[in-house]
Structure 1
């Protein structure tokens, strides 16, 4: 009876078992599947556990190989398999696309005899009607996230939320923006209306949208932020400073998307300086990020001292790196004790002179913070190529001949992984980079231990490349 049960159990999973006694040794503890027995984006992954069916079997030399859509994860212990975030991995690798299967190949030895078992599980994306595991409020079509912000843009008072903050310089303001994310959101995307789909207005069931904006005074802002962080699972927070050609609403949506895709268990915060949100206003953006540096420094100082977060991640993109890196150096010079809760500094595609960054900015950051710094670079980045033409010098985010390699900074070369037109926002819309940042935040692993990367050398220096 027991053997028949196991045979029936694995028939459900299309399991091919190769064992000398034709009896399965391994199984999945719970069948969280739909009517077609497929694992879905809504399954309860806390119950998706690999178990040994026969406790009397002594297993040695265990090797578990899991693959989907050409992507592979390896484990040498059941505990490692069961601790892995399969839902996030499947989402980032488009595992729920039509026709994909999750293949679990298990190699082990029993009494000196090497055996193999293969479990094949179909995967399926389903529409969500009431799942809200990463949002703050329930809705049939979307979840919402509260995103904290500081900005020195002008308040237009426009009732259209996408136009609430303009492109002019103004005093420093604080607030919370509520961003909705559709249940069918795909990792790395900021879904927006498309004329090719005959979509001419935003729909929260299909697109990321700003739902509410609430301004707070400085005291109330940091008090509420600290209270929310204290109630969060990990008591953590990240601060994101956006780059060139970015509006307030785009920065808010990007911050929400990053937080949602990373399954961040803390509170997301962003700083929006008065970028002109125009490809053709690069010069004005340069002047405005320089003008905003004082305000960014004030905001960062308050954020580090008043947020109450145990773990703080500082993230910047493109031209935003100019504001954040200078603010970090200035704050550390004036109050070095504020480095205590900084967990990681992540600099993506920095539009900073490579020589200035290498010889001046980076050494000061390394020595003053004594915290891990990750630098993402890419030689396909057309925005940085244009910046190089304008300035006549390579940029710190370029992976070309001026590749920045210095002690205390882990350089990650993301060349070739982003197929978008500009290849400039790869840090937040490319699955492999999102997965790498996820690994940094979730595990704290350094580059040498992260499976999405492989080590390479340039003369006497080492850096890492992203696996394609």
Structure 2
């Protein structure tokens, strides 16, 4: 039996990992939202390995399904939205004040999902036909993870067709181990979701995994590589792992099994990430990739590392909440070169000048892959 003080300490640890408190968010379905109007609407296409739920406010549960379900949501962004935040309600959302699901339509099957994605892609210019797949982290219900995807899409002005992959998180503070097991269960569904995106008319597919969701991403990439579906991996035009809650040795094993990682491959780390510090304690002291414990190894595997320790507090969710990063990605040649077009090497002077153009961005440290460091060294300094 765990002594009361140790049990309390454990709950404090997992509470910090959760990063949220109070009533859990609800979608606002079916038509239960009241009040004003949303200021913007973000369509989100859902692929999920969660079981369907009888609760209309949360149409998918924490139960694990062996088959993917598909749907389309229209997520309303509140008029008073502050960039980087997800304003939610645990009762009856007001669309003027809270993220709200304004519409929900199940999609019958895989073929119909591909057709829906193609129809959305065709509404965009050929050069903008990109699919953005977001994979949420630990302790998220379906509303919270959908809303985070919508917030990222809206605040970063992505312009992509946004696909949300929801694996069966328990959405409960004490269920860290349940979520870790669910991440393993969810890898097959994510691998299938990536395959589906690869069968569309998208010109580019970008994959972002946060926290424990990064573990799901690596396991899905590993599953694709080891089952002879390497052609699907080649359709990925970029992978980003934000604050990955992955043991560094486990990551090395995953990377070895994958072989050649999709490019560009970027990891966002922070030495100030308290959540990953607690995760390390739970794991017996083993370092997490997202803490930036072995950047040299990551560089050797062709990975770009963004150290955000000194950006807007460097918290576990800074990738989504930082207005500095939003401005940097919107305006800076640095981020475009790092995350989008690494084939064009920039001189260190040009990189520094790009970062300096955004207030606060000079605190960002970029560790380029080893192969690019050699190319940059060959670039004559700017005059």
TM-score range, shorter chain: 0.7 to 0.9
Give every structure 1 segment of 4 or more consecutive aligned residues whose post-TM-superposition deviation is greater than 4 Å. 363-366, 400-404, 436-443, 445-448, 454-457
State how many pairs are aligned: 311
Task: Show the counterpart of 1:312.
Answer: 205
Q: Aligned partners of 2:295, 2:233: CA distance in 1, in Å?
A: 29
Q: Which residue of 2 aligns with 1:396?
A: 289
- In the TM superposition, what is the alpha-carbon distance from 1:157 to its structure 2 partner? 2.7
Cα deviation digits, residues 152-185 of structure 1 (max 9, x gap): 112113222xx22111112310111110002332
How do 1:314-463 residues align onto structure 2 when only pairs under 5 Å count?
Answer: 314-333=207-226, 334-357=228-251, 359-363=252-256, 365=258, 367-369=260-262, 371-392=263-284, 393-400=286-293, 405-407=298-300, 408-419=302-313, 423-438=315-330, 440=335, 444-446=340-342, 449=351, 451=355, 452=361, 453-455=364-366
SS of structure 1 residue aligned to 2:309: coil
> CA 1:276/1:356 → structure 2, altered by over 3 Å: closer, same or farther?
same
- Conservation of the 8 A alpha-carbon contact between 2:221 and 2:233: no
The answer as to whether partners of 1:404 and 1:411 remain within 8 angstroms in 2 is no
Determine if contact 2:49/2:64 at 8 Å carries over to the other structure. Answer: yes
The answer to whether residue 119 in structure 2 is matched with residue 227 in structure 1 is yes
Q: Which runs of 5+ in 1 are unaligned?
A: 1-138, 195-199, 463-468
- Residue 159 (structure 1) aligns with: 56
The answer to which structure has the higher strand fraction is 1
Residue 456 and residue 287 in structure 1: after superposition, are their counterparts in 2 closer, same or farther (change >3 A)? closer
Check if 1:287 corresponds to 2:178: no
Q: For 1:386 and 1:366, how far apart are their aligned partners in 2?
A: 30
| Counterpart mapping for 1:196-215 below 5 A | 201-215=92-106
Query: Where do 5+ consecutive residues of structure 2 fail to align?
Result: 1-35, 356-360, 374-383
Deviation at 1:403, TM superposition (A): 7.2
Residues 366 and 390 (structure 1 numbering): CA distance in 2 closer, same or farther, change over 3 Å?
A: same
Q: Distance in 2 between matches of 1:322 and 1:348?
A: 11
Does residue 168 in structure 1 map to residue 59 in structure 2? Answer: no
Question: What is residue 376 of structure 2 aligned with on the other side?
Answer: none
Name the larger-Rg structure: 1
- The corresponding residue for 2:81 is 185
CA distance 1:455–1:169, shift in 2 (3 Å): closer
Q: Give the SS at the match of 2:260.
A: helix
Secondary structure, counterpart of 1:406 in structure 2: helix
Q: Is the alpha carbon distance of 1:366 and 1:432 closer, same or farther for their aligned partners in structure 2, counting shifts above 3 Å?
A: farther
| TM, length-normalised to structure 2 | 0.74
Higher relative contact order (CA 8 A, sep 6+): 2
For the residues of structure 2 that align with 1:455 and 1:292, how far apart are their CA atoms? 31
**SS across alignment from 2:96:** coil
